[in-house]
């Protein structure tokens, strides 16, 4: 009996307890929602809509701060042209902090794109102007022309006690909303910059449950200690005049030290095999150098009075043709000559040195840790080269985040305009510049991923590279003289790109990802690096590994559609047509050799190939190829109208000639010339002149000197014939010794009359 009583009592007690706690919870919740609503209500009267009416300037679309891109996860400035076209303003939240002042997040657009700014609270509105910029806060202070009816400014009381809520005002899903969230006690600490922060909503007021506003933050983080509790007046700001002064300083340093550079190249040799000539490599950047250009217009920066860092991604094949560098500083119309010093290994740049120094010390590099510059207002210059002009756009931007990229380096991310940008600090020192790393070497024709001026390189990395210039330069990427500019590298392999069917036939489907990469060797040139390494016909080339690139390079060759060379109708082809048809043999400058040339002579690489089912890895050094048809020594006889060239290895192979067979090949016949009339045609081989065998063009030149009559022994494929050309003009040649003279024409004398008379 006693026991039951105790049990009952305990039960009742429990029930009452849970009931009350339930009640408490409900009570709490009621209390909570009352509080939250009170908080929101406290903020509402000071909220305003800031409307930026944008316009195009000089045909350029306005750009404002944007969002993180979902496909490449980098910030892009948002192109705000849609706003202009849809005839609506960009609507941004703002808070009234006095009768005529509004604090609002900085949309980071340039003043030239702003047509007007209007602030409204839904009931009344006023025109406004930006008059102060937050230095560390991503904020602007706007001044209204007149007061707004129905709004009251937010009074910031730093003494207000917690717990706090972070209250943000924003336009989402087409509706304005006030978001109230508790300001947690969570702290984030950044050991690299010795800072600790608390996460808040961006563009928010920090409010306690009584509705008292303790502070305001336009950044997504507030300090972990209480220093965020302060009025706007105490915020570090910069007036328009002060900002203009900063820009004036930047303009001065930029105009002196950011220069236009013009690089000229010798004309490339025209080839009938127009692999690259006619179809240019498709590029997303309109200032990327095309391999056959003769002029590159780009920008450069003075690193001291004489030396310039020139922004140019030119590869060994193009650099070989480099003829001159001219520097145009400060809008000058005539350029000052500069010499090539070296090309950089890692960066898409070359160093040049002026013959006469400019009146400048070069751009000053900042030595400050870039991590400490987050959210700060930073002046910048956007530099683009349009034709002969260097166009400079002055603007400011802020770093919001960082990204880890190439070689583990850290790159700043900017929410607004970030391409072609030179970023400075407020003292005019360079923080970051749009210097790209050299794109990865690949054999693909269209290099779709081209990392160019879109990346901002912190200047600390450039400093380090310039200090160690000797280890940074690429000795294989230098200008060459005219004789050597067409030399190519070679391995001595002729190959055929694999297809899924071919891979299957050769039983290498697994090795080559079902024929996607790889090529089968169809010919090895004797005495070539490949022959010496023991590579054989039928081996499958898999991939290449370069010295400083851990990822393999896939072997790709396009199958050039080879048409039958018209030997059968040869005599009927007019002379001018020969310039348009490709040579009957495959050029030595194929995709693989061209690629190796751009790696640079002397560099090492590893070739992976499969032979008889086994995978073999072999190291090679990029070697210079022997002369090929395009670089073969030639001789032109203007009198005859023909050009002959020495027989090179790929030509000998096509005509099945041994290395010591005599002959020179006709490369060009001028239409209508003596050679043309005599029936000589390009690609015929002249074996002897007047009975003497010809081994090279020097022999040929010797043999045709001082002769009255030339007799060539000419072969075309398997057949031969004799061609004679008179060297003198119009006069008869002297009869050779030992010949009787030509028969003299007979005199026509009277005919004897017949005996019988003719009948009628």
Partner 1 sequence: MRYKILTVATAFIFVLFSGCSTFNSQEEMSGGKIINPDFQSAIKCAKEKVFPALVFIITLREEFREGKKVTLEASGSGVIISPGGEFLTNWHVVNKATEIRCLLFDGTNYEAELMGDDKDSDLALLKLKLPEKHPPLPYATIGNSSKLKEGDFVMALGAPWGLSRSISVGIISCTNRFLPMKSEYSLWLQTDASISPGNSGGPLVNIDGTIIGINSLGSTMGGDMGFAIPAETIQQIIPQLREHGKVNWTWTGLLLQPLKDFKTNTYFNASSGVIVSGTEQESPARQAGITSRDRIIRINGEPITAITEEDLPDIRRKLGLLPKGKPVTVELERDGKLASVQFTPREKGEVEGVELDCPRWDFTVKTINQFDNPQLYFYRKKGVFIFGVKYPGNAQMCGLQHNDIVTSIDGKDIQTLDDIKAVHKAAIENVKDKPRILVNVLRNGSLKQVVLEFSRDYEK
Where along the sequence are the contacts to partner 1 (CB under 8 A)?
494, 496, 499, 501-502, 504-506, 520, 522-523, 537, 562, 564-565, 567-568, 584-586, 653-654, 656, 674, 677-679, 691, 711, 713, 715, 717-726, 733, 735-740, 742-743, 750-751, 753-754, 757-759
Question: Judged by CB, which is closer to partner 1: 71, or 562?
Answer: 562
Question: Which residues, 6 or more positions from 142, have their beta carbon under 8 angstroms from its beta carbon?
Answer: 50, 94, 101, 102, 103, 104, 117, 119, 128, 129, 130, 131
Instruction: State the minimum distance, in angstroms, from the CB of residue 720 to partner 1.
Output: 3
Q: Smallest distance, Å, CB 713 to partner 1?
A: 5
CB 351 within 8 A of CB 309: yes
Q: Are 666 and 655 in contact (CB under 8 A)?
A: no
CB 486 within 8 A of CB 291: no
Read off the DSSP letter of residue 629. Answer: G
Measured from the CB atom, the residue of 405 and 662 that comes closer to partner 1 is: 662
**Minimal distance, residue 707 CB to partner 1, in Å:** 14
Q: Which residue has the tokens 């160093």?
A: 351
Query: What H or E segment, with its residue span, contains residue 669?
Result: strand 664-669
Q: Shortest gap between Cβ of 711 and partner 1 (angstroms)? A: 6
Six-digit token string for 544: 């290449």
**Smaller CB distance to partner 1: residue 173 or 656?**
656
Gap between the Cα atoms of 93 and 113, Å rounded: 19
The distance of closest approach from Cβ of residue 628 to partner 1 in the complex, given in angstroms and rounded to an integer, is 15
Residue with smaller CB distance to partner 1, 393 or 586:
586
Q: Burial code of 541-555, b = ≥16 C-beta within 10 A, e = fewer?
A: bbbbbbeeeeeebbb
108 or 588: whose CB is closer to partner 1? 588
Phi first, then psi: what are they for 134, rounded to 5°?
-70, 140
Nearest to 268, CA basis, from 343, 315, 320? 320
Q: Between residues 92 and 502, which has the closer beta carbon with respect to partner 1?
A: 502
Grouping H, G, I as helix, E, B as strand and the rest as coil, residue 82 is helix
User: Can you tell me whether residue 367 is helix, strand or coil?
Assistant: coil
Closer CB to partner 1, 267 or 656, in the complex: 656
Smallest gap from residue 592 Cβ to partner 1 (A):
15
Write the DSSP assignment of 203-265 as a string of letters.
SEEEEETTS-EEEEESSSEEESSGGG---GGGS-EEEHHHHHHHHHHHHHHHHHHEEEEEEEE
* 127 sits in which H/E element: strand 125-134
In contact, 359 and 517? CB cutoff 8 Å: no
- Residue placing its CB nearer to partner 1 in the complex, 258 or 649: 649
Is there a contact between 681 and 584 (Cβ–Cβ < 8 Å)? no
Question: Can you tell me whether residue 533 is helix, strand or coil?
Answer: helix
Nearest approach, Cβ of residue 513 and partner 1 (Å): 17
Cα gap 78→62, rounded to integer Å:
9
380 or 725, CB closer to partner 1?
Answer: 725
Q: Please give the structure tokens belonging to residue 177.
A: 């909303």
Residue 549 CB, shortest distance to partner 1, in Å, is 30
Q: Is 518 helix (H, G, I), strand (E, B) or coil?
A: coil
In the bound state with partner 1, the residue whose beta carbon lies nearer, of 388 and 537, is 537
Exposure string over 559-585, b if 16+ CB within 10 A, otherwise e: eeeeeeeeeeeeeeeebeebeeebbbb
> Closest CB to partner 1 among 529 and 713?
713
Question: How many CB atoms are located within 10 Å of the residue 324 CB?
Answer: 15
Strand bridging mode 336-343 / 349-354: antiparallel
Closer residue to partner 1 in complex, CB, 324/584: 584
Using alpha carbons, select from 758, 759, 641, 624 the residue that is nearest to residue 704: 641
Q: Is 743 helix (H, G, I), strand (E, B) or coil?
A: coil
**CB of 559: closest distance to partner 1 in angstroms?**
8
In terms of CB distance, is 176 or 567 closer to partner 1? 567
In a 3-state reduction of DSSP, which class is residue 386? Answer: strand
| Smallest distance, partner 1 to C-beta of residue 504, A | 8
- As a whole number of angstroms, the longest Cα–Cα distance in the chain is 185
Comparison of 72 and 757: residue with beta carbon closer to partner 1: 757
Smallest distance, Å, CB 276 to partner 1?
A: 21
Q: Give the N- to C-terminal CA distance of the chain in Å, as an integer.
A: 180
Judged by CB, which is closer to partner 1: 332, or 505?
A: 505
Report the residue number, 416 or 583, with the smaller CB distance to partner 1.
583
- Residue 584 CB, shortest distance to partner 1, in Å, is 6
Report d(CA 93, CA 232) in Å as an integer. 17
Q: Which of 469, 476, 606 lies closest to 543 in space, CA to CA?
A: 606
Rounded to the nearest 5 percent, the helix, strand and coil shares of the chain are 20, 35, 45
Cα 202 to Cα 266, 406, 412, 417: the distances in Å are 56, 30, 20, 20
We find the least distance from the C-beta atom of residue 632 to partner 1, in angstroms, to be: 18
Give the C-alpha separation, 171 to 91, whole Å: 8
Cβ-based nearer residue to partner 1, 156 or 685:
685
Strands (E), 486-564: 489-490, 493-497, 519-524, 540-546, 549-554
Residue whose C-alpha is closest to residue 297's, from 309, 288, 306, 307: 288
Q: Decide: 697 and 634 in contact? Cβ < 8 Å.
A: yes
Of the two residues 305 and 566, which places its CB atom closer to partner 1 in the complex?
A: 566
Q: How far is the CB of 441 from partner 1 (least distance, A)?
A: 27
At 333, list the tokens.
């119309």
């Amino acid at each position: 009996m006693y026991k039951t009583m105790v049990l009952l009592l305990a039960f009742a007690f429990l029930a009452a307890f849970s009931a009350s706690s339930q009640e408490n919870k409900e009570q709490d919740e009621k209390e909570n929602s009352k509080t939250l609503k009170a908080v929101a209500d406290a903020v509402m009267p000071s909220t305003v809509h800031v409307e930026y009416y944008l316009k195009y300037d000089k045909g350029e679309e306005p750009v404002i701060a944007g969002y993180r891109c979902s496909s490449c996860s980098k910030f892009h400035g948002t192109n705000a042209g849609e706003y202009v076209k849809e005839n609506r303003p960009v609507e941004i939240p703002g808070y009234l902090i006095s009768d005529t002042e509004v604090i609002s997040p900085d949309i980071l657009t340039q003043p030239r794109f702003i047509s007007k700014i209007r602030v409204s609270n839904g009931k009344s509105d006023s025109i406004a102007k930006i008059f102060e910029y937050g230095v560390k806060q991503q904020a602007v202070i706007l001044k209204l022309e007149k007061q707004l009816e129905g709004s009251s400014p937010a009074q910031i009381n730093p003494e207000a006690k917690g717990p706090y809520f972070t209250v943000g005002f924003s336009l989402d899903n087409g509706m304005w909303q006030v978001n109230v969230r508790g300001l947690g006690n969570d702290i984030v600490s950044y050991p690299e910059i010795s800072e600790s922060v608390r996460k808040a909503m961006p563009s928010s007021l920090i409010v306690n449950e009584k509705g008292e506003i303790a502070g305001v933050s336009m950044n997504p983080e507030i300090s972990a200690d209480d220093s965020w509790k302060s009025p706007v007046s105490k915020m570090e700001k910069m007036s328009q005049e002060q900002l203009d002064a900063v820009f004036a300083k930047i303009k001065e340093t930029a105009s002196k030290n950011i220069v236009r550079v013009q690089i000229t190249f010798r004309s490339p040799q025209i080839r009938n095999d127009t692999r690259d000539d006619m179809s240019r490599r498709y590029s997303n950047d309109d200032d990327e150098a095309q391999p056959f250009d003769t002029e590159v217009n780009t920008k450069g920066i003075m690193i001291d009075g004489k030396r310039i860092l020139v922004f140019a991604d030119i590869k060994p094949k193009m650099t070989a043709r480099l003829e001159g560098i001219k520097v145009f500083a400060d809008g000058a119309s005539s350029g000052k000559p500069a010499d090539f010093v070296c090309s950089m290994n890692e960066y898409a740049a070359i160093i040049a040195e002026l013959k006469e120094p400019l009146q400048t010390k070069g751009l000053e590099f900042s030595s400050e840790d870039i991590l400490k510059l987050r959210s700060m207002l930073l002046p910048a210059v956007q530099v683009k080269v349009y034709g002969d002009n260097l166009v400079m756009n002055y603007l400011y931007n802020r770093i919001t985040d960082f990204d880890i990229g190439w070689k583990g380096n850290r790159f700043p991310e900017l929410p607004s305009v970030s391409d072609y940008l030179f970023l400075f600090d407020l003292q005019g020192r360079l923080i970051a510049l749009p210097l790209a790393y050299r794109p990865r070497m690949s054999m693909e024709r269209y290099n779709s991923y081209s990392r160019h001026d879109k990346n901002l390189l912190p200047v600390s990395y450039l400093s380090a590279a310039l200090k160690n210039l000797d280890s940074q330069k690429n000795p294989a990427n230098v200008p060459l003289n005219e004789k050597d500019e067409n030399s190519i590298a070679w391995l001595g392999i002729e190959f055929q790109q694999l297809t899924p069917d071919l891979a299957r036939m050769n039983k290498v489907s697994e090795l080559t990802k079902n024929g996607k990469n790889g090529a089968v060797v169809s010919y090895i040139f004797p005495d070539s690096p490949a022959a010496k390494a023991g590579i054989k016909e039928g081996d499958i080339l898999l991939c290449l590994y370069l010295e400083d690139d851990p990822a393999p390079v896939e072997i790709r060759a396009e199958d050039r559609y080879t048409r039958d060379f018209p030997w059968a109708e040869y005599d009927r082809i007019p002379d001018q047509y020969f310039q348009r048809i490709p040579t009957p043999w495959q050029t030595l400058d194929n995709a693989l050799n061209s690629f190796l040339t751009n790696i640079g002579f002397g560099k090492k690489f590893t070739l992976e190939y499969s032979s008889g089912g086994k995978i073999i890895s072999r190291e090679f050094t990029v070697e210079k190829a022997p002369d090929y048809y395009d670089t073969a020594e030639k001789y032109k006889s203007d009198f005859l109208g023909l050009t002959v060239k020495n027989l090179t290895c790929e030509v000998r192979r096509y005509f099945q000639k041994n290395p010591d067979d005599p002959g020179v090949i006709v490369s060009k016949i001028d239409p209508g010339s003596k050679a043309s009339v005599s029936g000589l045609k390009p690609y015929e081989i002249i074996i002897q002149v007047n009975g003497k065998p010809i081994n090279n063009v020097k022999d040929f030149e010797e043999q045709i000197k001082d002769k009255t009559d030339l007799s060539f022994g000419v072969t075309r494929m398997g057949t031969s014939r004799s061609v004679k050309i008179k060297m003198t003009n119009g006069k008869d040649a002297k009869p050779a010794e030992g010949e009787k003279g030509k028969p003299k024409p007979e005199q026509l004398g009277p005919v004897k009359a017949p005996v019988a008379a003719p009948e009628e």
